[in-house]
Amino acid sequence: MVSKTVPHSMIMEEQPDLSSYLERHLGPVVRALLITGMLSYTAFVIIGEWVGHSRVPLWLRILPVIALVIVNAIALTQRQARWFGMLGLSTLILLEIGIFLNGYGRSEGTAWILPVYILVPIVSVPIWQRHRDFILAMLISCVIGPLPLLLLSSLNRWERFQYIGDLLIVVILSSVTYRYINRMIREQFHLEQRLRRIAYVDELTGLATRRRFFKLAENILSRCVAQRVALSVLYLDADHFKRINDQHGHAAGDKALQAIGKALRTKLRDFDLVGRIGGEEFAVLLPGIDARSALDTAERLRQAVSTIRSPDSQLSISIGVVTRQPREIRIEPLLARADRALTRAKQLGRNRCELAP
């Protein structure tokens, strides 16, 4: 018996969660920003050493570079979005420490280094995907980081007031940008989810769409071939469906299709695959089922549908049944044989099951 690995929920198995979505779309951006921060700080130290003098020894100012290298190495190996916040905050703390070490006690003063504090929170906005991380980042980069240098520097009252005003503008700008990016990403994520559901799930019946059915069917067929287990296919068609549409309207036809889809889902196993192939036609894949059992399943489905009332009578379906032969390794030939068996069932009076030779 083939393993139970094809539940109806498999129709949507490729639906990513938000964490996976963020990693795929923002992971490269976050890693690029972390690397940029490391390289920028390295250049910052080199240029600062070249153009001026600091009381802090060079080796101490280089220590954050080593720590940033370690953070970036971790970022390159971790592929989960939950690491973004921790890695970003670690980088931010190291950069703030490094900026202070390079700005403290410089012979040319601190005015040239203070604009760096303004740049860091704006550039780091795309990293933060949780409100908590964003708030911590703003506190670190706009309050805790610059505070020691502001207190220890020789800036006059007006210069300090001006710089604090600039930081407030940065906080507002960063907050607006963060809010916009965060909302845009989540809206895009939910939009892609809806589009993927439209592509995978038939809106009317809740079954797999034709395209999704064929993709999953090929996977199931390959597994059955590899495991050398039986595989059967049912091809179903609602009898006299055009008459329902013509005499009672398309709304009645839609209700009939919904009822048929519900009956199929109810009577099949959790790991059978069922899809709406087109119009009033359905296909069912039965892994691990031989010809006799497939015919019994088809009869069970036919009887279930026959209990459903249509506007003028009971609904009925005709079913073609086929079991995979050793040389059949694609789903199309199986469905073609099942379709021929379905045609014979209709020719013999409808509301019946026919097993393909």
Predicted confidence (pLDDT) per residue in 323-332, tens digit? 999 888 999 9
- Asked if the structure places residue 23 within a domain, the reply is yes
Does one domain contain both 188 and 92? yes
Give 331: exposed, middle or buried? Use CB within 10 Å, 0-12, 13-18, 19+.
buried
pLDDT band at 346 (very low <50, low <70, confident <90, very high): very high
pLDDT, one tens digit per residue, over 70-111 is: 999 999 988 777 888 899 999 999 999 998 888 887 766 666
Does one domain contain both 33 and 180? yes
Does one domain contain both 186 and 219? no
**Does residue 5 surpass a pLDDT of 50?**
no
Does one domain contain both 231 and 175? no
> How many domains, the chain?
2
| % of the chain at pLDDT higher than 90 | 49
- Asked if the structure places residue 204 within a domain, the reply is no
- Asked if the structure places residue 4 within a domain, the reply is no
Does one domain contain both 89 and 235? no
Q: What is the mean pLDDT of residues 5-23?
A: 60
Does one domain contain both 267 and 161? no
User: In the listed set 145, 165, 198, which residue is the last one of a domain according to the structure?
Assistant: 198
| % of the chain at pLDDT higher than 70 | 93
pLDDT, one tens digit per residue, over 262-302 is: 999 889 988 899 999 988 999 999 999 999 999 999 999 99
Does one domain contain both 240 and 332? yes
Q: Which residue has the higher pLDDT, 226 or 116?
A: 226
HSE value, Cβ hemisphere, 13 Å, CA-based, for 37:
36
Does one domain contain both 139 and 230? no
**Does residue 153 surpass a pLDDT of 80?**
no
Which one of the listed residues 96, 192, 218, 280 is annotated catalytic?
A: 280
**Does residue 176 surpass a pLDDT of 90?**
yes
Check residue 4 and give its pLDDT. Answer: 39
Does one domain contain both 165 and 72? yes
User: In the listed set 147, 167, 198, which residue is the last one of a domain according to the structure?
Assistant: 198
Does one domain contain both 165 and 224? no
**Does residue 3 surpass a pLDDT of 60?**
no
- Asked if the structure places residue 138 within a domain, the reply is yes
- Asked if the structure places residue 260 within a domain, the reply is yes
Check residue 263 and give its pLDDT. Answer: 92
Distance of alpha carbon 332 from alpha carbon 315, whole angstroms: 28
Distance of alpha carbon 235 from alpha carbon 335, whole angstroms: 7
Does one domain contain both 188 and 214? no
Q: What is the mean pLDDT of the chain?
A: 86
Check residue 290 and give its pLDDT. Answer: 93
Q: Which residue has the higher pLDDT, 139 or 143?
A: 139
- Asked if the structure places residue 203 within a domain, the reply is no
Check residue 16 and give its pLDDT. Answer: 63
Verify whether residue 49 is a known catalytic residue: no
- Asked if the structure places residue 103 within a domain, the reply is yes
**Does residue 10 surpass a pLDDT of 70?**
no
Check residue 235 and give its pLDDT. Answer: 96
Angle at CA of residue 224, ends 220 and 230, nearest 5° = 120
Q: What is the mean pLDDT of residues 50-61?
A: 83
Can you give the CATH number for the domain in which 282 is found?
3.30.70.270
User: In the listed set 198, 220, 240, which residue is the last one of a domain according to the structure?
Assistant: 198
Q: Which residue has the higher pLDDT, 326 or 319?
A: 319
- Asked if the structure places residue 5 within a domain, the reply is no
Does one domain contain both 194 and 225? no
User: Domain range spanning residue 351?
Assistant: 210-355
Check residue 44 and give its pLDDT. Answer: 87
